C-alpha cells in the first residue's frame, strides 16, 4: 500500500506539472512525446495496482516503481529543456517581428504567418516561405493590375501589361527588399544572406541573391493577405507604399475608353447612316528608341463625299487605327 501511495503521488504530481506548464505551449511533436511518457507511467501504475490485487511478487512491484520514478525524472529534464528552447525562440521571434511590422506599418494578428514568411527552406524546419510566396505573387499581381486598371482615363491592355511587369518583376522586388533592409530579418543558413551581402544603394548589381529577396517580398504579401482574410483592398493599402509604386511612371499618352473603342463605334455609325465601310491605310511605321511607332489614316464615303482623317502616332497598329477613327468621329460630329 505504501508503494501504491508513492506511485499515486508521483503520477499525480507529474500530471499536474505537465498540464499546468506544457499542454498549451508546446508544439504537437513535443506534446506527443510527453503524452507517451505520461501514459507509460499510468500503464505501470495500473499494472502495479492490478498486481497488488492479485498478490503479485514484490520484486515486480519494485521494478514498476523504479521504472515510474525514472520516467518522472526524464519528464522533468525534458520539460526544462523544452522551456529553455521555447523561451529562446520567443525572444528571437520578438527581435524579428517588431522591426518587420514597423516596415510594413501593419501588426499581424497571427505572428506565425510573419515568421513563416521570413523562414528560408535552408533552415530545415517544418515551415518555409514557399507557400506564402505562391499566394503573395498572385495577390500582388492582381492588386497592381487593379491599381493601374482603375486609373482614369483607362490604359490600353499593352500598357497595363507593361506596368504590371515593371512593378512586380523579380529585380524590382529585390530592390524593394534591399531598400527596406529586409535581408537582415530572413531566417536562413545561406551564407549569402547571413553576411551583409546586400549593399546600400539602388544598384541591382550589388544584390547577391535577388531571387530570394524578391521571394521574401512576395511571401510577406502572402502573409498579410492571409492575415487580412483575403482582403485585396487592404493588402494594396499596405503594399502600395512598400512597393513604392509611385516611382513607376505611367505613360502620359494613355488612351481613354472612347479612343480604344473608336473603330467599332465608327463602323456602327457608318452602318446606321448607310455609308461605306471605313478603310484604314498605314501612313508611317518607324523604329525609335522605345520600339515601333505607327500612324494610320481612315476614310469613309459619306453622302457629302469621302471624309478622311489621319491619326496620331501610336505604339501599336491597333492604337493607331483607333486614333484615326476617333479623330474622324469628332470631325463628323
Partners of 52 in beta bridges? none
Residue 153, preceding bond cis, omega within 30 degrees?
yes
Q: List Cα–Cα distances, 330 to 259, 271, 295, in angstroms.
A: 11, 17, 18
pLDDT by residue (tens digit) across 195-251? 444 544 444 445 555 678 899 999 999 999 999 999 999 999 999 989 988 888 777
Among 13-17, 34-38, 69-73, 323-327, which range has the highest average pLDDT? 323-327
Is residue 306 pLDDT above 80, yes or no? yes
Mention every residue, 6+ apart, whose C-beta is less than 8 A from residue 160.
145, 148, 149
The lowest-confidence range among 84-98, 123-137, 292-306 is 84-98
Stated pTM of the model: 0.51
- What confidence score (pLDDT) does residue 79 get? 63
* Spatial separation of the C-alpha atoms in residues 21 and 26, rounded to whole Å: 9
Set of cell numbers at residue 312? 496620331
- 308 or 260: which leads in pLDDT: 308
Set of cell numbers at residue 89? 525562440
Instruction: Note the helical H segments in 54-169.
Output: 58-104, 111-117, 130-149, 157-168
Set of cell numbers at residue 326? 476617333
Q: List Cα–Cα distances, 264 to 43, 323, 326, in angstroms.
A: 83, 12, 10
- What confidence score (pLDDT) does residue 221 get? 96
Domains of the chain: 94-247 (1.10.1520.10), 257-331 (3.30.160.20)
Residue 193, preceding bond cis, omega within 30 degrees?
no
- 170 or 123: which leads in pLDDT: 170
- What confidence score (pLDDT) does residue 94 get? 67
Mean pLDDT of 301-323: 88
Mean pLDDT of 291-318: 88
- What confidence score (pLDDT) does residue 254 get? 54
pLDDT by residue (tens digit) across 259-272? 778 889 898 988 88
Taking residue 250's Cβ as centre, other Cβ atoms within 10 Å add up to: 11
Could you say which DSSP state residue 203 is in?
Answer: -
- What confidence score (pLDDT) does residue 138 get? 95
- What confidence score (pLDDT) does residue 85 get? 45
How high is the mean pLDDT of the chain? Answer: 75
pLDDT by residue (tens digit) across 73-110? 777 776 666 554 444 444 446 678 889 999 999 999 99
* Spatial separation of the C-alpha atoms in residues 178 and 209, rounded to whole Å: 10
Mention every residue, 6+ apart, whose C-beta is less than 8 A from residue 82.
22, 26, 30
118 burial type by CB count under 10 A (0-12 exposed, 13-18 middle, 19+ buried):
buried
pLDDT by residue (tens digit) across 56-76? 455 555 566 666 666 767 777
- 94 or 129: which leads in pLDDT: 129
* Spatial separation of the C-alpha atoms in residues 4 and 52, rounded to whole Å: 9
- 77 or 323: which leads in pLDDT: 323
Mention every residue, 6+ apart, whose C-beta is less than 8 A from residue 39.
none
Please name the residue that has the C-alpha cell 545561406: 190
pLDDT by residue (tens digit) across 152-198? 555 677 788 889 999 999 989 988 988 888 888 887 775 445 444 45
Set of cell numbers at residue 186? 530572413
Q: Which of 270, 185, 277, 193 is nearest to 223 (CA)?
A: 185
3-class DSSP state of 188: coil
Amino acid at each position: 500500500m505504501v508503494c501504491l501511495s508513492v506511485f499515486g503521488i508521483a503520477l499525480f504530481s507529474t500530471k499536474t506539472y505537465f498540464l499546468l506548464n506544457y499542454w498549451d505551449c508546446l508544439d504537437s511533436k513535443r506534446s506527443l512525446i510527453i503524452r507517451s511518457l505520461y501514459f507509460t507511467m499510468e500503464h505501470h501504475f495500473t499494472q502495479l495496482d492490478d498486481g497488488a490485487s492479485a498478490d503479485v511478487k514484490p520484486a515486480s512491484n519494485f521494478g514498476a516503481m523504479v521504472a515510474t520514478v525514472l520516467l518522472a525524472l526524464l519528464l522533468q529534464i525534458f520539460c526544462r529543456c523544452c522551456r529553455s528552447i521555447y523561451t529562446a525562440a520567443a525572444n528571437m521571434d520578438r527581435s524579428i517581428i517588431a522591426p518587420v511590422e514597423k516596415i510594413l506599418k501593419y501588426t499581424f494578428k497571427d505572428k506565425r504567418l510573419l515568421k513563416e514568411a521570413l523562414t528560408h527552406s535552408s533552415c530545415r524546419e517544418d515551415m518555409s516561405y514557399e507557400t506564402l510566396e505562391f499566394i503573395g505573387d498572385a495577390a500582388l499581381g492582381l492588386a497592381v493590375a487593379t491599381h493601374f486598371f482603375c486609373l482614369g482615363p483607362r490604359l490600353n491592355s499593352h500598357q497595363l501589361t507593361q506596368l504590371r511587369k515593371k512593378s512586380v518583376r523579380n529585380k524590382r522586388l529585390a530592390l524593394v527588399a534591399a531598400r527596406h533592409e529586409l535581408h537582415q530579418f530572413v531566417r536562413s543558413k545561406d551564407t549569402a544572406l547571413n553576411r551583409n551581402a546586400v549593399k546600400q544603394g539602388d544598384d541591382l548589381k550589388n544584390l547577391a541573391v535577388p531571387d530570394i529577396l524578391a521571394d521574401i517580398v512576395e511571401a510577406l504579401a502572402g502573409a498579410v493577405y492571409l492575415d487580412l482574410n483575403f482582403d485585396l483592398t487592404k493588402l494594396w493599402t499596405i503594399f502600395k507604399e512598400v512597393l513604392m509604386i509611385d516611382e513607376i511612371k505611367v505613360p502620359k499618352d494613355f488612351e481613354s475608353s472612347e479612343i480604344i473603342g473608336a473603330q467599332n463605334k465608327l463602323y456602327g455609325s457608318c452602318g446606321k447612316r448607310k455609308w461605306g465601310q471605313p478603310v484604314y491605310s498605314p501612313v508611317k511605321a518607324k523604329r525609335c528608341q522605345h520600339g515601333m511607332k505607327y500612324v494610320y489614316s481612315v476614310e469613309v464615303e459619306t453622302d457629302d463625299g469621302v471624309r478622311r482623317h489621319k491619326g496620331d502616332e501610336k505604339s501599336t497598329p491597333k492604337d493607331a487605327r483607333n486614333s484615326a477613327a476617333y479623330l474622324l468621329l469628332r470631325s463628323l460630329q
